Structure 1
Amino acid sequence: MTRARDESSVSCRQWVVALAVGALIALTIWRQPFFSGGLIGGDTYPYFFPQKQMLSDAFAHGEIPLWHDRTGLGYPLLAESQAGVFYPTNQILYRLFDVNRAYSLSLVLHYWLAFVATWRFARSQMISPLSALLAAVIFVYGWFPARLSLEWSIIGGVWFPVCLWMADRWTERRTLQRFAALTVCFALHLLAGHFTLAFITQLTCLAYVILKPVLHSAAEQQTSRRRQIIQNVVSVIGAIGVAGLLAAVQIVPTLELRAYSQRDGQQQGQQAAFDPQYGHLPPVYVTQIAASWWYWHSPEIVVQQKFKQPSPLKSPADTNAVEAHLYFGLLPLLLILLRTLTGFQRHCHKSVSHRWLLLGALALVYSFGWFVPWTRVLPGFGFFMGPGRYTIVTAMAGAIIASLSLDELLRRRSSMAAISIVTILCVLTLADLLKSSNTISDAIVVEQPPLDGLNESWIRRKLTQEETAPVRLLMAGQNVGNLFGVSSLPVYLGIGPREYFEEQKQYRSKPADGDNAPFPTAQELRLLQSRGVTHIVLTEPVSNPSAEIKLIGAA
């Protein structure tokens, strides 16, 4: 173990370099949201901003936001966990900054921390400080920018490598302090509120501490290895259990809401709104790791959504390009192939390669969605959809294996030559990864985000000046009406009362193209009035408006 610790130890100078490089990359790529801009697209405005606005408003009044009264007829905000009410950075940023600024700063901060955390974990895998920088580039900027509209992804990007690092430290030396550190990291990830990546992180840590002694290159007695495995598994499960207690303030309300939500399985023989197989990776789409921006990720192919077309072994559920995205970069892919197909590796590092090759392959196969019909009955698995998210493990595996291969190339190089090679590789790979993800991501960075102009909105002024209160909108942009400071229908929630999702099938939020039926119909109007709807906001004129509604403003 002494040699392994020597190879994975980190000096203060190396920490400073990693922190500086991570900050430089994050501020270069995300300079616009960091300094003045923001995001639009995907879940940003219909899902995250209405929650963050309620969070910010509650903090401004010295309250803990337990209930969101603006979405539909209301829902327990704390229980809809992705608000991250008790997550530390949310508690700080949304008290100090406006919603858009806090959200943007959180994004940049987590990209920076994810880079540094991945670099440090790569060092624990006996990767050199320079090659570990490439590992951080591959993992952080290969998997997450395509998921830019999903705040939880980059938050998980921090805690995934941190928890793995803590688990690795525990296997090296079992102390109370290291157990406590692993436990606290698990708990903080749970407090962030997106339990899918937290669950995947916990599973990966369990698999990691099992495989490390099994595949360790040193000759050890079978009895000794078995004892190590048992100790590791019991310890990690114990850390997960204690973390669950520490994060119970977030977990318990979510579990309670889940029992009354659209995720409660089949309802009266009808297909539920929640399908755990949704968001899988079609097997044929794995070829994107080589045929990326020049084929699968080209704008034309993305628009046609060819990856969703019937193909061999594809799961029957629907999916989307964001959930199914997996890409290492072309140069890292060559490094991976060089190591896995040619035996281009030192004997002492074979166990690391084999460990991550196995973990990455298992996660990749599970991401196809084949096993979800069976695993959904197991504790934890049936709670989540998006098996494609398991490719976060494959992304880490690719980053580790590529960096180990790079180490072999740099072994006999001078320091200056090694720095030059790594710099060129990182720059080219970063450009490659971003070119690929830009066409996949459903969110973009803009210089002037719409939320910054909210105070100048004539719709907001008119609604807040209404004498009849409370105001409730019917607005096609789900939840977006909440940003005016009023209630709105229909709703968009990750976990919400199932009645909302059943009822939304009974009315339209806007007329469909070519639909000449009155809007709203008499039946729709009765339902909307019974739900307290007072105003309708549309982006286009209605060809056949109901006689029961009148125009009060247009622009």
Structure 2
Amino acid sequence: MRRRDWGVVRRWAHRVARRDGIIASLLLALAVLIFYWPITLAGHWMPSGGGDLVSFLWPTYRFAARSLRQGVIPLWNPYLYSGVPFVADNQAGLFYPVNLALFLLLGDPSYRMMEALVMAHVWWAGLGFYRLARPEGGRWGALVGAVAFAFSDLFIVHFGNLNLVAVAAWLPWLFLGLRRALPWGRPWRERISAALSSGLVLGLATLAGHAQMSLYLALAAGLYALYMAGERLRHRDGREALAVLALLAATGLVGAGVAAVALLPTLEMLTFTGRAALPYEEAARYALPWPALTGFLAPGLFGRGPARFWGPWDRVETGYLGVLPLLLALWGAMPDWRPGRRRPSPFLTSLPTGFLLLLLSLALLLGLGPHTPVHRWAYDLLPGFRSVRAPARLVLLADFALALLAVRGLGRLLSPLSRRERRRLTSWLIGAGGLGVVGLLLLARTYQAVVAARPETRTPDHLMGAWWAGMTFALLWGAGMELLILRRQGLLSPRRLGPIALILTFTDLTILGSAVDVEVNDPTVGFQHPAVVAFLRQDPALFRIEGDAGAWQPDAALVHGLY
């Protein structure tokens, strides 16, 4: 084919990819609007009680917006105690470009606008995942993975932590660049450009204002680089291994440089706070207990959401991303023996299965906190782990790995199945059926063990909830098995399998997760006291405000400008 003909083909491929990306972004936007129907259709609020979104982030953002529109960079917050550095507050998110656009263009954000920002970042997480997974899973495989990741448990539990969601949403975009930078064989200019763009993404994520999630993004990136360097050392290519580490260093330097305007004041302020070095007992709080791992199978076994959770441990995220994606991930983790797939190409269009399994294992071991020695090792040896707690949030990385493995599994099912592949799938389906039975027995045994240890939790409501959770898991696992069996028998074409898998995954996540953290009353009512505000403004003396948090929000002075 002549060069001119190649140019025509390339332009056609770019047009198709652009149109495909637009369609996917619209489908994901529709999915977000439907998933958050309590807000978009019913007119309710999220999360229940408002959480940090109403008590901390909304007042913080309103203060920042008001200051910037007055031409003042808010270096200082005079409305908290005797005043505190505002820019040095890691969670202020003052220099995050999305926040800056909001503050400067739209004025004081309403609470509805804060909810919209959370939903927009969930959409951004899904879109980034789609872009990352599209080369391997095709349109439908990437959409299933994007839905599973964007509506996984961390994003549901932390709707009220806008800054946490914002940082987490950049994880797929970070790996979109790293996937082009770290694998060997690409032109150096392309690899360097990808490494620098990855650094830009890491810096932007850090500016969103949640140090713990930025630490976890950096941890995942570092693990990927070490894995790729190890692969080159295994092939006795030490020069390329050093190049991988150098590209990672470039990513880190660019990220630190982009975020320096917020990072440097935060690091200086850190030395004056208790976060400088938390005791290990505090750093290990809000970890995953062993029974909570059943949440990957049935999130409602011990109740879900602040109103229904009854487990005898702190409520934490448990990593649920749907039953079908979990089933597909098991298939995706199997070795791929299709023709041309036996040897990994140096031009990797996907993340290696070995790395994804390593990331999944490490995230779970760290997320278990004091229940394994791994978290203590990280606390002692890795920078940053002494200043953060709630290791259960590492399920973000576990879900990321599982969702990518699910994409890989579905992508293989959407491809033509050879006779050998059908035989392997038959054997695997028998094993998967057995795993489903084991999973159901594990749910029952875990419930029995918990209520035996805490007899006061043995109530009819809890028993009924656990029974429904187990039956839901069995139904969804059976439905997923049926899809795979039909595909194995040739009774379900790839053209139909993809949409059905997407609908089943989205229905599963929406029914079980969309309404677990809903508030029917306006969360901002604790700020709505015009008579009290008017009285305080008429008092020229300095005073301290003490109040009941249920009636008067602690950060109300920040909203109304009272001190």
- TM-score interval for Structure 1 and Structure 2 normalised by the shorter chain: 0.7 to 0.9
Aligned residue type for 2:320: Y
- State the 1:53 CA deviation: 1.8
Within 2, Cα distance between the matches of 1:463 and 1:263?
Answer: 34
Q: 1:337 aligns with which of 309, 324, 330?
A: 330
Q: Deviations over 1:180-216 (max 9, x none)?
A: 2122111111111211111111121121133246569
Q: Identity of counterpart residues, as a percentage?
A: 25
Q: Which residue matches 2:288?
A: 281
Q: Distance in 1 between matches of 2:122 and 2:27?
A: 12
Q: 1:301 to 1:106 in 2, by over 3 A?
A: closer
Inter-partner Cα distance in structure 2 for 1:61 and 1:134: 45
Aligned ranges 1:159-238 → 2 under 5 Å? 159-172=170-183, 173=186, 174-175=188-189, 176-212=192-228, 214=230, 222-224=235-237, 226-238=238-250
- TM-superposed CA distance for 1:29, in Å, is 2.6
Q: Does residue 408 of the first structure (1) align with residue 412 of the second (2)?
A: yes
Quick check: 1:338–1:344 contact (8 Å CA) kept in 2? no
Distance 1:423 1:438 in 2: 21
Query: Which deviations, in whole Å up to 9, do the C-alpha atoms of 1:33-61 show, x marking residues without a partner?
Result: 56976534321222212211211211221
Would you say 1:249 and 2:261 are equivalent positions? yes
Distance change (3 Å), C-alpha of 1:303 and 1:246: closer
Q: Give the secondary structure class of the aligned counterpart of 1:223.
A: coil
Which has more helix, going by share of residues?
2
Relative to structure 1, the CA distance from residue 12 to residue 333 in structure 2 (aligned partners, 3 Å threshold; closer, same or farther) is same
Aligned match of 2:546 = 474
1:252-277 CA distance string (max 9 Å, x none): 111111111121347xxxx79x9211
Instruction: Give the Cα separation in 2 of the matches to 1:103 and 1:277.
Output: 30
Q: 1:60 to 1:419 in 2, by over 3 A?
A: farther
CA positional deviation for 1:250? 0.6
The residue number in structure 1 matching 2:522 is 449
Identify unmatched segments of 5+ residues in structure 1. 309-319, 489-555
Partner of 2:403: 399
| 1:500-511 equivalence runs, <5 A | none
Report if aligned partners of 1:215, 1:355 keep a CA contact under 8 Å in 2: no
Distance 1:206 1:264, change over 3 A: closer
Could you say what secondary structure the match of 1:472 adopts? Answer: coil
> Contact 1:140–1:157 at 8 Å: present in 2 too?
no
Q: 174-183 or 344-353, which moves further after superposition?
A: 344-353
Matched, 1:81 2:81: no
Separation in 2, partners of 1:253, 1:180: 24
String of CA shifts for 1:253-302, please: whole Å, max 9, x gaps.
11111111121347xxxx79x92112211122112111323x13457994
| Structure 1 residues 265-304: aligned runs within 5 Å | 265=277, 275-293=282-300, 295-298=301-304, 302-304=308-310
What is the aligned partner in structure 2 of residue 147 from structure 1?
158
2:499 maps to: 423
**Would you say the 8 A contact 1:473–1:486 is kept in 2?**
no
Deviations 1:356-375 (A, max 9, x none): 11211111111111333333
**1:137 equivalent among 140, 147, 157:** 147
1:450-491 residue CA offsets vs partner (Å, 9 max, x unmatched):
438956743333333x32444531123262433552558xxx
Give the structure 2 partner of residue 112 of structure 1: 123
2:296–2:318 CA contact under 8 A, matched in 1: no
1:383 maps to which residue?
387
Whether 1:305 aligns to 2:311 is: yes
Instruction: Label 1:303 to 1:111 Cα distance change in 2 as closer, same or farther (>3 A).
Output: closer
CA offset at residue 397 of structure 1? 0.9
- Which of 216, 237, 259 does residue 271 from structure 2 map onto? 259
Deviation (angstroms), 1:88: 0.3
CA distance in 2, matches of 1:345, 1:87: 45
Offset from partner CA, 1:399-445 (integer Å, 9 cap, x none)? 0111211122222389x953543333223222322444457x6x535
Residue type of the alignment partner of 2:378: T
Cα distance change, pair 476–231 in 1 and its aligned pair in 2 (3 A): farther
Alignment partners' CA distance in 2, 1:348 and 1:471: 72
1:7-45 C-alpha deviation (Å, 9 max, x unpaired):
x99811221122111111122233665697653432122
1-structure distance, mates of 2:101, 2:138: 35
Number of aligned residue pairs: 452
| Residue pair 2:536, 2:562 contacting (<8 A) in 1 also | no
> Structure 2 CA distance, aligned partners of 1:112 and 1:300?
24
Q: Any unmatched runs of 5+ in structure 2?
A: 1-9, 345-351, 417-486
C-alpha contact 1:339 1:345 (8 A) present in aligned 2: no
Amino acid of the residue matched to residue 199 of structure 2?
T
TM-score (norm 2): 0.72
Distance 1:17 1:169, change over 3 A: same
Aligned: 1:57 with 2:77: no
Change in Cα spacing, 1:433 to 1:29, as seen in structure 2 (3 Å) is closer
Q: State the shift of 1:248 in Å.
A: 1.3
**2:472 corresponds to:** none
Cα distance, 1:63–1:30 mapped onto 2, change above 3 Å: farther
Matched with 2:357 is 357
Partner of 1:23: 29
**How many Å apart are 1:158 and its aligned residue?**
2.2
The amino acid of 2:315's aligned partner reads A
